[in-house]
Structure formats: C-alpha cells, structure tokens
Structure 1
C-alpha cells in the first residue's frame, strides 16, 4: 500500500510540474507588447533602486490611448479586480519559480471592476510612464482603463 501511495504521489508531482512549464502557445504577442518589451532597466550601483529607460517609441505613446491583451495577475484578493498587473503569460505558468523568468507586465487601473479570469482580457486605457523607482511602483501603467469585449 505504501508503494502504491508513493507512485500515486509521484505521478501527481509530475502532473503539477508539467503544468508549471511554459507553454509557448499561451504567450501573448502583439505590436503593443513589443513596444512595452523594448523598455530597459538600470539598477543603481547599490541595487537599492531600479529605473526604467524609455525609448522614443514608447514616449510618443505616453498620455494617449493604448490597448493590450493579456492575463490578469491580481495584486489583491478578490473575484472583482480594478487594479492588477497584466501579463503576457497566464498566472498558472509559475513565472516566479525561476524556470521561466518574469514576463513583461503592466499595471492596469480600471474605471469599473472586472471579474478575475484565467482567460485573456483586452484592456484599453491611457498609457502612463513613471520615472520613479521601479522597485516601488510599476513604471508602465494603463490608467482609466476599460475592458474591451
């Protein structure tokens, strides 16, 4: 019986580790995500601060309507979300576990709450860039956002 239990747990472990692997077909790719992905970051010499370096391509879009499709990564608990991170990979792909790296993410602030979902959503809002310490606040945000159906 012990051996059977061990084998069962072993298979369950493999199933969970398989789900944690990155599935390339889940990755959201778009021209707007490419613009976001071009942002570079510079660490202070003592690693206490990090700043975004914005190129001209993203700077010219700042303060204007911008649309992204992605996956909700909640900042707070709850089924209804108004402020969250939007990612190019789904939350169940375990991008914090060290296997896949951290995907591109943008902070989203909606004018009306939306239900949490594991499916992608499309959001339209005003692109906001911040030169503050990126370790304290998101350097790229979509503010006054609305979910596009």
Structure 2
C-alpha cells in the first residue's frame, strides 16, 4: 500500500511544482479534474502527509462522480479492477522522463476493464480520506463502473 501512496503523492503532490513537457493534446481537462486538482497537502514529517480538502471537493464527497482519464496500472495484468486514473497517458509519465507529473486518483471498479492506452470514463462514489496520504491515496472512486 505504501507504493500506491507514493505513486499517488508523486503524481498529485509533486504535480503542482513539476514543469510538464507533455503533448498538450493528450491531457484530459475537465471541471471534475479541476476539483480533484484543488487538493492541497500538509507535510507533518517525512513519513506523514495529510490532504487538505476545500469546500469545493467536499460537496462531492460520498456522491457519484465521473472522470475521464488514462489507466495507470498498479498491478500486472491486462484486466484491471484497481488502478490509478491519470490526466495524462502512462507513456508520458514523469518517471519515464517524458513529462511533468499529472493529477491522479485511485479507482476501484466493480467489474474489471481491459487495459488500454485510450482514455476511459468511469463513474463511482468519490471518497476522501483523512488518513496519512503516505499510506493510502486521499482521493478515490469506489464501486466504479466504466461508462
């Protein structure tokens, strides 16, 4: 789980400061991604970081929420039920040396989806976690379905 939290924090936390070098036509931009991107973080110590949720994102908590984005697998396999959803394709990820850091959320689907390099649209219940963001992603879509 710490790997997952690190991935999330790397993508959302550092994304604010990173200078993107991506193909702008690939980036997914929407009002809902703007809501997700409004999350701030407070670092308590090197091993503790907590999300700060503003009123805009709080009004969507525990309600249906839709996002379109790219699958970033967290486990091997062609079919995915738990993955990160990103505003940029995986081939433009920061760790590949081709890009800045995109915003991401964890997605838990009811039924698996086949991995694709194309965007997918998912709908699930938006969950906000106040736990240490080093242990679990603060923003997730649960009970999700691909639209």
Shorter-normalised TM range: 0.7 to 0.9
Match of 1:13 in 2: none
How far 1:98 sits from its partner (Å)? Answer: 5.8
2:75 matched residue in structure 1: 76
Q: CA RMSD in A?
A: 1.2
1:32-43 pair list within 5 angstroms: 32-43=32-43
Counterpart of 1:64 in structure 2 is: 63
Q: Deviations over 1:86-124 (max 9, x none)?
A: 000000013224663321000000000000000000000
Between 1 and 2, higher relative CO (CA 8 Å, sep ≥ 6) is seen in: 2
* 1:135 Cα offset (Å): 1.2
Report the counterpart of residue 47 of structure 2 in structure 1. 48
Report the equivalent of 2:25. Answer: 25
Cα distance in 1 for partners of 2:105, 2:61 equals 13
Normalising by structure 1, we get a TM-score of 0.82
State how many pairs are aligned.
127
Distance, in Å, in 2 between the alignment partners of 1:64 and 1:113 is 22
Give distance in 2, aligned partners of 1:22 and 1:52.
26
Take 1:76 and 1:99, find their aligned partners in 2: how far apart are those partners? 22
Distance 1:133 1:99 in 2: 29
> Distance between the aligned counterparts of 1:36 and 1:59, measured in 2?
10
Matched, 1:130 2:122: no
Q: 1:119 is matched with which residue?
A: 118
For residue 15 of structure 2, what is the aligned residue in structure 1? none
1:145 is matched with: 144
- Segments of structure 1 that go 5 or more residues without pairing to the other structure are 1-20
Q: Secondary structure at the match of 1:96?
A: helix
Counterparts of 1:49 and 1:99, CA distance in 2 = 29
